[in-house]
């Protein structure tokens, strides 16, 4: 395995996904660079979320889903038998469309990941880790006095940042975000976007979004999906100003979508 660039994180080759007999994505080959934000855009049903869920094998949860092709993380095929999805997901964290904090205290939400992975063996280490994660997620000032409150009582934006902090606490390399702002209001969205930018210094972030503006604001690279195919992939400014493909042009200018 020879990578031309050193900072390639994911390398995918001819990835196809089927739900039963229905094909969701078709032979996607896409390389994702380290410590950048890569956005996946496209109309709904185009397969962008399906592709995202392949990257940490969350599709395994769906019973009739099968994945073909190769996905390499740091050069290792993540669908090979030697890779355990449990360990993979510790490396590749995920934030979901709807904020889904566990119905437990804020502290327990953040500490959950480290606990199951055996990071932070005593209460003090764990507390440090929780504080650190909340700090990185920019939430520490808002919640430091009520770590024992139930997380589901927070506002939507705060809940989503709890979910981000929860993902960070496991110390992943990559964070996948599946339309993380679609259930949030504009102010909360702005906060999350700010957070993404600061996180991209230390993490590789891949975000699925239906908002082109958001992709334009936060990402360095953008991939455009349509009907299960990867239409175009390149530097974000280029995609948004002078795309190579007509379909991309049509989508960007709002002729369909």
Partner 1 sequence: MIDKNIDQLKRLKLRKNAEMRLKVYGILSISLALIMLSTLMISIGLSGYSALQQAYVKLEINVDSKKVLDEKGGFSNQKALLVNWDGIVSNSFITNFPEITKRSEKRSLRALMSSNAGYELRQYFQKNPDDLDENITIWLSASDDFDQYMKGRFNTSVDEKDRRLSNQQLKWIDFLAMEKISKLKFNTSFFVNADSREPESAGILGAVVGSTLTLTITILFALPLAVMASVYLEYFAKPGRLTDFIEVNINNLAAIPSIVFGLLGLSVFLGFFGLPRSAPLVGGLCLGLMTIPTIIIASRASIRAVPPSIKDAALALGASRMQAALHHVLPLAAPGILTGTIIGMAQALGETAPLLMIGMVAFIIETPDSFTSAATAMPVQIFMWSDSAERAFYERSSLAILFLVGFLIIMNSLAVFLRRKFEKKW
Partner 2 sequence: MSFSTLLLLIIAFSLCSFFFSSSSAFKKIKSATSRPSALPKHYGQYSLAWTLFPAFLLLIVFTIIGPIYVDNFFKQQIALTEASYDKAKIELVLAMIKNISNGSISSDEPKILKLADEYSNYLSKIYLFRTLSVLLLSSILGIIISSNINILKNSRVKVETFYRILFFVSAVIAIFTTVGIIASLLYESLRFFALYPFFDFLFGLHWAPNIAIRSDQVAAQGSFGMLPVLLGTILVALIAMIVALPIGLFSAIYLAEFASKRVRDIIKPTLEVLAGIPTVVYGYFAALTAAPFIRKIGMTLGLDVSSESALAAGAVMGIMIIPFISSLSDDIINSVPQSLRDGSLGLGATKAETTIKVVLPAAFPGLVGAFLLAVSRAIGETMIVVMAAGLSANLTINPLETVTTVTVQIVSLLTGDTEFDDIKTLSAFGLGLALFAFTLILNVIALVVSRRLSEQYD
Q: Which of residues 162-221 bind partner 2 (CB under 8 A)?
A: 163, 166-167, 170, 176
What are the backbone angles phi and psi of residue 233, rounded to the nearest 5°? -145, 130
Contact partner at residue 96 from partner 2, partner 1, none, CB < 5 to 8 Å by partner kind: partner 2
- When asked if residue 25 is in the footprint of partner 2 (CB under 8 A), the reply is no
- When asked if residue 98 is in the footprint of partner 2 (CB under 8 A), the reply is yes
Measured between alpha carbons, how far is 58 from 142 in angstroms, rounded to an integer? 31
Pair of tokens at residue 141: 């000032």
Indicate the pairing of strand 8-19 with strand 65-73. antiparallel
Nearer Cβ to partner 2, position 152 or 182? 152
Are residues 28 and 15 in contact, defined by beta-carbon separation less than 8 angstroms?
yes
Binding site for partner 1 (CB under 8 A): 73-76, 83-84, 86-88, 91, 116-118
For the sheet with 37-41, list strands across it.
92-95, 174-178, 204-208, 37-41, 221-226, 229-235
List the one residue from 66, 87, 125, 149 that touches partner 2 (CB under 8 A). 87
Nearer Cβ to partner 1, position 122 or 213? 122
- When asked if residue 132 is in the footprint of partner 2 (CB under 8 A), the reply is no
Contact partner at residue 94 from partner 2, partner 1, none, CB < 5 to 8 Å by partner kind: partner 2
Q: For the CB of residue 237, give the shortest distance to partner 2 in the complex, in Å.
A: 31
Are residues 109 and 151 in contact, defined by beta-carbon separation less than 8 angstroms?
yes
Q: For the CB of residue 131, give the shortest distance to partner 1 in the complex, in Å.
A: 24
Return the closest-CA partner of residue 101 out of 158, 152, 147.
Answer: 152
Contact partner at residue 100 from partner 1, partner 2, none, CB < 5 to 8 Å by partner kind: partner 2
Contact partner at residue 56 from partner 1, partner 2, none, CB < 5 to 8 Å by partner kind: partner 2
Nearer Cβ to partner 2, position 105 or 127? 105
Q: For the CB of residue 140, give the shortest distance to partner 1 in the complex, in Å.
A: 28
Residue identified by tokens 């999350």 is: 192
Between vectors from CA 221 to CA 219 and to CA 222, what angle results, nearest 5°? 90
Measured between alpha carbons, how far is 95 from 216 in angstroms, rounded to an integer? 20
Pair of tokens at residue 195: 């957070």
Contact partner at residue 98 from partner 1, partner 2, none, CB < 5 to 8 Å by partner kind: partner 2
Q: For the CB of residue 212, give the shortest distance to partner 2 in the complex, in Å.
A: 26
Between vectors from CA 232 to CA 41 and to CA 240, what angle results, nearest 5°? 65
Q: Which residues bind partner 2 (CB under 8 A)?
A: 56, 58, 61, 63, 86-91, 93-96, 98, 100-104, 112-113, 116-117, 152, 163, 166-167, 170, 176
């Amino acid at each position: 395995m020879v990578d031309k660039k050193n900072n390639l994180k994911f390398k995918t080759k001819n990835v196809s996904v089927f739900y039963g007999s229905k094909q969701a994505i078709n032979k996607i080959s896409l390389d994702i660079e380290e410590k950048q934000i890569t956005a996946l855009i496209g109309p709904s049903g185009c397969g962008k979320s399906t592709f995202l869920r392949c990257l940490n094998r969350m599709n395994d949860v769906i019973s009739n889903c099968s994945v073909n092709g190769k996905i390499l993380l740091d050069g290792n095929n993540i669908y090979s038998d030697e890779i355990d999805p449990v360990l993979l997901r510790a490396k590749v964290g995920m934030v979901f469309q709807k904020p889904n904090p566990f119905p437990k205290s804020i502290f327990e939400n953040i500490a959950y990941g480290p606990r199951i992975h055996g990071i932070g063996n005593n209460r003090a280490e764990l507390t440090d880790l929780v504080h650190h994660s909340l700090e990185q997620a920019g939430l520490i000032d808002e919640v430091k006095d009520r770590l024992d409150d139930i997380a589901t009582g927070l506002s939507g934006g705060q809940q989503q940042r709890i979910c981000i902090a929860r993902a960070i606490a496991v110390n992943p390399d990559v964070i996948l975000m599946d339309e993380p702002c679609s259930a949030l209001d504009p102010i909360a969205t702005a906060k999350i976007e700010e957070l993404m930018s600061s996180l991209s210094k230390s993490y590789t972030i891949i975000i699925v979004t239906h908002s082109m503006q958001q992709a334009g604001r936060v990402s360095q690279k953008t991939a455009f999906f349509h009907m299960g195919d990867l239409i175009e992939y390149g530097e974000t400014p280029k995609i948004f100003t002078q795309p190579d493909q007509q379909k991309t042009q049509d989508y960007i200018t709002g002729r369909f979508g």
